[in-house]
Amino acid sequence: MTRIALISTGGTIEKTYEELAGTLSNRISVLDVMLAQLDLRGTTDITRIALMNKDSLEMTDADHARIAEAVEGQLQSHSGVVVVHGTDRLAHSAEITLKRLQIAGGPRGAVVFTGAMRPWELRHTDATQNMTEALLAVQILPPGVYVCMHNRVLQFPGVHKDPATLTFVKA
C-alpha cells in the first residue's frame, strides 16, 4: 500500500460556480468528489489535508511557508506528497518548498504540485487528467519537487507558468 498525502490549497481546480453572484470562487473543496470518481483499486492510501482554500493570487508569504512546512511534515509519514495549488503562484510555492526541504537535508520522497487551468466543475476541464497524472507521478518519481500537468512532469528549480501556452515550462 502506497501512502500519499494530498494537500489542498485551493486554486482554479477547486473553484465552484456561485449562482447568485455569477462568479467562480474558492468556497468549498471538490477534491473528495473528484477522488471518489477515480479507480485507485485499493493500492493507494490517500491522506487528505485541507490546508487552505485560496486563489493562489491571494496567497501571502506566510501561506507559501505554511505549504512548505506542511509538505515537510507529511514526508515524515508518507512516501510522497501531492499539492493541489492554483497555477498562478504554484511555481513560487514549489520553489519555497524545495528550499525548505534542501535545508532539511533534501526531499525524502517525491513532492508533486498540480492544479488546473479550468475548474473541475466545468464540462471542459483539465482537472481530472492532472490529478490522475499527479497521483501516478508521485508514486514513481525519485525524491524531488515537481509539477505535473498536461501530460508532463517538470522538476524544480527553474519551472514557470507560460501564459502563452497555459502550461508549465522549464526555463
Mean pLDDT of 52-79: 95
Q: What is the CATH number of the domain that holds 28?
A: 3.40.50.1170
Question: pTM for the complete prediction?
Answer: 0.88
Residue numbers of the domain that contains 35: 2-170
24-38, 46-60, 100-114, 156-170: lowest mean pLDDT where? 24-38
- Is residue 7 within 8 A of residue 113, CB to CB? The reply is no
Q: What gap in Å lies between CA 81 and CA 108, rounded to an integer? A: 10
Q: What gap in Å lies between CA 91 and CA 134, rounded to an integer? A: 15
The number of distinct structural domains making up the chain is: 1
